[in-house]
Amino acid sequence: MPVLEGILERITYRNDENDFTVAKLMPSDNHELVTIVGVFPTVSSGQSLKLEGQWVNSPKYGKQFKVESFESIIPKTLVGVERYLGSGCIKGIGAVTAKRLISCFGLEVLEVIEKYPDRLCQVEGIGEKKAEMISRGYEEQKDIREVMIFLQAHEVTPGLAVKIYRHYGRDTLKIIRENPYRLAELTGIGFKTADKIALKLGMDPRSSHRIKAAIQFVLWEGASQGHVFLPEEEVFQKIQCLFAEEEIKIPLMAEQIQALVKAKEVFIELEPAGEHRLIYLAPFYHAERGVAHRFLDLKAWQQSLNQSMEMFKMDSDYNLTPQQHQALSKALEEGVLIITGGPGTGKTTTIKALIDLFEKNNLQVTLSAPTGRAARRMSEAAGREAKTIHRLLEYSYQEGEFRFQRNEEKPLKTEVLIVDEVSMVDLLLMYHLLKALPLGSKLILVGDIDQLPSVGAGNVLRSLIGSGVIPVVTLDRIFRQARESLIIVNAHRINQGEFPKTNEKNKDFYFIQEDDPEKINQIILDLCRFRIPGYLNVDPLDDIQVITPMRRTLVGVENLNKLMQESLNPPFRGKKEILSGGETFRLGDKVMQIRNNYQKEVYNGDIGKIADINTEEGELTVTYPDLTGCREVQYSFNELDELVLSYAISVHKSQGSEYPVVILPLITQHFLLLQRNLVYTGITRARKLVVVVGTKKALSIALRNNRVEERHTLLGERLLFRGS
């Protein structure tokens, strides 16, 4: 197979989804740039590479070297070493530091970094801390190369190899050799990739390890789709689909399910009718039973208070509806209460009145919400601190793992807990919250049952209300001031399946008819840059949020982000940017955190702005809004897979947030996700203006589709049958 060595001059194209890359390489044996194509996401300009592949002739692009495998090699010249170090691949070294290192150590520099890192302090600008960072970064590069060579031999793409290494670190090869099925723990890798590696390493196709891993994978996949358990027949069917080319008998699968039951990793329940067996992963089994028991215990411990409601009405400045008065009265009587209602029905006012009422009774009140954005909104509305549930429960790294520090043994110190945006709380998080709440405390849950359900497993708010066991007050009267907003009026119309009122003069809800996806994108760009800022005097980046149902269509999250970045934050000479994982991050870009990072205290869905890109330190800084203004969070370049552009986001990612302006594209290509509660959730994110761009046909499809997402859960039944 032909081999090509040289220095990577520049990357001309990289695909976000699969890390397919087109680049220019200067070969070692001549001085004419060649085009290389393939999948190699870890490389950057200036690196020396050894490539294996084939020469091909593209009718459109001419002669290219098609890369099948590659490795990063140590350059042999001063220029090569300097470019390698200055490429940004080693944290702590940028172009300036690379030049200083070469000037001080010459060709010995790599040996110094590897074996004598203390000597790095001889170089101007390098102290002990930075020397340690450089040494650690160099070791990491070596480890990555070793892991990638091993995994490529087992037909794992470089992109997946990097993801695996970042998850397991220096233990990667040890973990893979001991149990390759642990790779299925990683998002985006899954059972099939792990299985492929395992079989290549000699795993018996009918081994117990393989079938147990398949059972657990199928159950976790079900949880990622919102299911707390799966019926046994569905588990068998999904495993047979995984092993489509092989015949795995049902008795063999049943035997391994029983082995997992014996190990208490899986639990089996009979459905209420007693006909079908239901398979639970242990965390969800304990959580569902625990949530039911804790709610029933809290309800049984109810403590009625003696505060006179008549006196409260006279003494307060609140103009409360009968339903709001009912909520306050129930809150005095019950240990647990759910308050639900749509926008404009006074949930926020009710929360403020409840705080006032409980404090008149000398009770300590704690406020919480599932996300940072929802907690900030609650704090602003209530005029006092609200914490995320994770922060309230002191989720932190202890003894080698992340865990909640507040629990039954160390409960919360509160007498009343009010939780907002409860529709977003999944089963596991609710379980941890309830475990930390002392019996005798009052629990008030506030949410909108018509919003999309939680991203995690379960449908807690709907199950609680549907059971009829927990007291519920529904706020359904729209306040006069709210009725003046078409956003509020239309939210309720959409919730009833009625077509929204649009395009009324000086109102806040507009519909632009267009069915061509490319024209829709141009309309969105025009709205963001010119029309809406001119109409409302808002900032295109800070105040306007595009929310779209799908990710991978022309009018989806990924394509819109590229177009909007080019339009709202284009490149120009001197503006810093970095390419990571196929995505360009540029100074000033609007970005979103896509998973919880408790060490940095940034959470899935938090939106900020890139404030600095430091190639010397290998760090990118994002500013996130908080109650005191903004705070800065640093990311090393190898942590950038936690960030995505967020000029456009999905409806699910928008839950719990509010934006001054929302633009919502709706076209029939979004057919799979056109549901009433999705449109309802999208438009209720806006405070000042909603613009829907698309077709009335797509909107009509969504309005007619009121099918609530069915999730396998027995929480409601357990509440009815006393937690059993």
Task: Please give the average per-residue pLDDT across 442-452, as a whole number.
Answer: 93
The helix/strand/coil state of 614 is strand
CA–CA separation, 699 and 522 (whole Å): 20
What pLDDT score does 41 carry?
Answer: 58
**pLDDT tens digit sequence for 388-407:** 999 899 988 776 677 899 99
DSSP per-residue letters across 450-512: TSPPPSSS--HHHHHHHHS-S-EEEE-PPPHHHHT-HHHHHHHHHHTTPPPP---TT-SEEEE
What pLDDT score does 418 carry?
Answer: 97
- Confidence check: pLDDT of 317 > 70: no
- Confidence check: pLDDT of 704 > 70: yes
- Confidence check: pLDDT of 311 > 50: no
- Confidence check: pLDDT of 363 > 80: yes
What is the model's pTM? 0.79
- Confidence check: pLDDT of 314 > 70: no
**φ, ψ at 398 (rounded to 5°):** -140, 130
The helix/strand/coil state of 566 is helix
- 723 pLDDT tier (thresholds 50, 70, 90): low
**pLDDT tens digit sequence for 560-577:** 999 999 999 999 888 888
Work out the percent of the chain whose per-residue pLDDT is above 70: 91
How many CA atoms within 13 Å lie on the side-chain side of 571? 9
Task: Report which of residues 46 and 90 the model is more confident about.
Answer: 90
Contacts of 570 (CB under 8 A, 6+ apart): none
- Confidence check: pLDDT of 417 > 80: yes
**pLDDT tens digit sequence for 493-516:** 999 999 999 988 888 999 999 999
What pLDDT score does 276 carry?
Answer: 87
Kindly report which listed range (284-298, 354-368, 627-641) carries the lowest average pLDDT score.
Answer: 627-641
CA–CA separation, 398 and 402 (whole Å): 6
Order of all β-strands in the sheet with 607-614: 629-636, 619-626, 607-614, 590-593, 643-645
Kindly report which listed range (40-49, 180-189, 293-302, 487-496) carries the lowest average pLDDT score.
Answer: 40-49
DSSP 361: T
Instruction: Provide the sign of the torsion angle of the four alpha carbons 665, 667, 673, 674, taken in this order.
Output: positive
Q: What is the dihedral of CA 425, 445, 420, 325, to 10 degrees?
A: 160
For 656-670, give one letter per residue: b (16+ CB within 10 A) or e. bbbbbbbbbbbbebb
Residue 336 CA: distances (Å) to CA of 448, 467, 473, 519, 567: 17, 14, 11, 51, 50
- Confidence check: pLDDT of 307 > 60: no
CA–CA separation, 389 and 41 (whole Å): 36
DSSP 121: G
CA–CA separation, 270 and 412 (whole Å): 35
DSSP 370: S
Q: Which residue(s) pair with 58 in the sheet?
A: 62
Work out the percent of the chain whose per-residue pLDDT is above 90: 43
**Token pair of 507, please?**
């109102």
Task: Please give the average per-residue pLDDT across 552-567, as a whole number.
Answer: 92
Q: What is the CA radius of gyration of the chain?
A: 28
Task: Report which of residues 315 and 670 the model is more confident about.
Answer: 670
Task: Please give the average per-residue pLDDT across 692-719, as a whole number.
Answer: 90
DSSP per-residue letters across 25-45: EEETT-SS-EEEEEE-TT--T
Residue 1 CA: distances (Å) to CA of 24, 26, 157: 20, 19, 18
Give the chain's mean pLDDT: 86
676 within 8 A of 702, measured Cβ to Cβ: yes
131 within 8 A of 109, measured Cβ to Cβ: no
CA–CA separation, 196 and 213 (whole Å): 13
**pLDDT tens digit sequence for 183-208:** 877 766 778 778 888 888 788 888 88
What pLDDT score does 305 carry?
Answer: 60
438 within 8 A of 390, measured Cβ to Cβ: no
What pLDDT score does 302 carry?
Answer: 65
What pLDDT score does 722 carry?
Answer: 72
- Confidence check: pLDDT of 315 > 60: no
CA–CA separation, 162 and 112 (whole Å): 26
What pLDDT score does 471 carry?
Answer: 95
What pLDDT score does 408 carry?
Answer: 92
What pLDDT score does 18 carry?
Answer: 59
What pLDDT score does 538 carry?
Answer: 92
Task: Please give the average per-residue pLDDT across 59-76, as a whole number.
Answer: 81
CA–CA separation, 92 and 109 (whole Å): 14
CA–CA separation, 49 and 46 (whole Å): 9
- Confidence check: pLDDT of 632 > 80: yes
Task: Please give the average per-residue pLDDT across 171-187, as a whole number.
Answer: 82
- Confidence check: pLDDT of 119 > 70: yes
- Confidence check: pLDDT of 140 > 70: yes
What pLDDT score does 545 carry?
Answer: 96
Q: How many CB atoms lie within 10 A of CB 100?
A: 17
What pLDDT score does 295 carry?
Answer: 95
